[in-house]
Amino acid sequence: MNLEQLAATARQMVADNKGLLAADESTGTIGKRFEGIGVANEEDNRRDYRELLFRTSGLGKFISGAILYDETLRQSAADGTTFSALLEGEGILPGIKVDTGAKPLAGSPDETVTEGLDGLAARVEEYAGLGARFAKWRAVIRIGDGQPTPYAIGVNAHALARYARICQEGGLVPIVEPEVLMDGGHDIERCDEVTTETLKRVYDALYDQGVALEGTILKPNMVLPGTDCPTQAGIDDVAARSVQCLLRSVPAAVPGIMFLSGGQSEEEATAHLNAMNAAFPGLSWKLSFSYGRALQAGALKAWKGDAANAGAAQRALLERARQNSAACAGTSSEQAA
């Protein structure tokens, strides 16, 4: 493991108020996004859409890296430039989702464990050869009646740590993503409790398995009430609880925490991040973004599968990236809707 190189890449991912574009939707998930705008889920459409995103002029000013899906890392732009070369040319590091999805957990089938460890070392080697510099693995924790069980948290933490160690051995910075879902009627206290417990178990597992935290990135959920909770929380409350939860759980050696958006609107995701950085300057880790839906929703809506709309879609993406970069400095002036 070359820790110096891994740590330098991890620091680069959160430098200069930049964040990540999560464009690693699996073929099924991008199909759902395309369905919303009436676009067929065909390889050419997926390629055209990703090329549009990656060719956004000036994106590298706000975005340090893009997370790709296996198919995308192997694709090229219309002029034959590989997507990884295209991104590198814009100063954006290519990354790769390496998990193979959350599957029913044996013994507790309403919960999931994320799979993809078999053969992972060989895939990491191949992905590094294709230009990837970092990787992502998403564990899913659902809050419900009697859930999550300590068992589900434990196996997901163990798998995240196995993945992280394998990536570091293969030269990729692992993004460690334990997502506590927003779905449900639970209140913000319950989300706080479950997120704290999950993060503590994840950092125990990372320690047990010898993962060098300086060469990792954390991608957590924010601390939010469930989407069906009758009592929703204000921006400043979400910001304060999220930072306090992280302070209790995440070692200072971690260079960056890059939130997922998890179903928040574009404006909410920006406002929450902005409030954290405005109210808590000087934290040991950088607080940034690794948004999928909260960077792409407007771009998808503008594009609608029509090449004539590419410019409008790129402007929408660039504006979200710019606002989120400002939020990394706590200087976004945008108001949440």
**77: which 2 tokens?**
């732009």
Query: Partners of 173 in the beta sheet?
Result: 134
Of residues 22, 143, 157, 217, which one binds ligand 13P by CB under 6 A?
Answer: 22
Task: Tell me if 69 contacts ligand 13P by CB under 6 A.
Answer: no
As measured in angstroms, the least distance from the Cβ of 67 to ligand 13P is 6
Listing DSSP states for 58-125 in one string gives TGGGTEEEEEE-HHHHT-B-TTS-BHHHHHHHTT-EEEEE----EEEETTEEEEEEE---TTHHHHHH
**Cα(67)–Cα(130) distance, rounded to whole angstroms?**
13
Which residues, numbered 172-191, are part of the site for ligand 13P (CB under 6 A)? 177
Active site residue 219: yes
If one asks whether residue 257 binds ligand 13P (CB under 6 A), the answer comes out as: no
Residue 292 found at the interface with ligand 13P (CB under 6 A): yes
Binding of ligand 13P by 293 (CB under 6 A): yes
Candidates 34-42, 113-121, 123-131, 258-266; binding stretch for ligand 13P (CB under 6 A): 258-266
Cα dihedral across residues 236, 242, 247, 251: positive or negative: negative
- Residue 334: how many CB atoms within 10 A of its CB? 17
Considering the candidates 18, 97, 136, 219, report the single residue annotated as catalytic: 219
Q: Site for ligand 13P (CB under 6 A): how many residues? A: 11
**Residue 138 contacts ligand 13P per CB under 6 A:** yes
d(CA 280, CA 276): 6
Report, in Å, the least distance between residue 301 CB and ligand 13P. 15
The one among 17, 156, 195, 261 contacting ligand 13P by CB under 6 A: 261
Q: Which of 254, 297 has the CB closer to ligand 13P?
A: 297
In angstroms, rounded to a whole number, what is the distance separating the alpha carbons of residues 217 and 136?
Answer: 9
**Nearest approach, Cβ of residue 258 and ligand 13P (Å):** 10
- Near ligand 13P by CB under 6 A, which window of 82-90, 161-169, 195-203, 256-264? 256-264
Helices 120-129 and 150-169 pack at an angle, to 10 degrees, of 50
Are the C-beta atoms of 17 and 270 separated by less than 8 Å?
no
- Cis check for the bond before 148: say yes or no (omega within 30 of 0): yes
63-68 vs 217-218, strand pairing mode? unpaired
Cβ pair 262, 179 in contact under 8 A: yes
The C-alpha atoms of residue 13 and residue 92 are separated, in whole angstroms, by 9
Question: Would residue 301 show up in a list of annotated catalytic residues for this protein?
Answer: no
Q: Which residues contact 32 (CB under 8 A, 6 or more apart)?
A: none
Instruction: Give the CB-nearest residue to ligand 13P.
Output: 292
Nearer to ligand 13P, 49 or 291 (CB): 291
Is position 163 an interface residue for ligand 13P (rule: CB under 6 A)? no
CA 224 – CA 237 distance, rounded (Å): 9
Closest to ligand 13P by CB, 22 vs 300, is 22
- Name the minimum Å distance from CB 3 to ligand 13P: 25
Q: What angle do CA 86, 304, 62 make, to 5 degrees?
A: 40
Of 56-64, 185-193, 227-235, 259-267, which segment contacts ligand 13P by CB under 6 A?
Answer: 259-267
Task: Find the catalytic residue in 111, 177, 179, 268.
Answer: 177
Task: By CB under 6 A, tell whether 320 contacts ligand 13P.
Answer: no
At 217, the amino acid letter reads: I
Residues 87-126 that bind ligand 13P (CB under 6 A): none
Nearer to ligand 13P, 24 or 51 (CB): 24
Q: Are 141 and 148 in contact (CB under 8 A)?
A: yes
Binding string to ligand 13P for residues 262 to 281, with x set by CB under 6 A, is what? x-------------------
CA atoms of 223 and 233, how far apart (whole Å): 10
Interface with ligand 13P (CB under 6 A): 22, 24, 138, 177, 260-262, 291-294
Annotated catalytic residues are: 177, 219
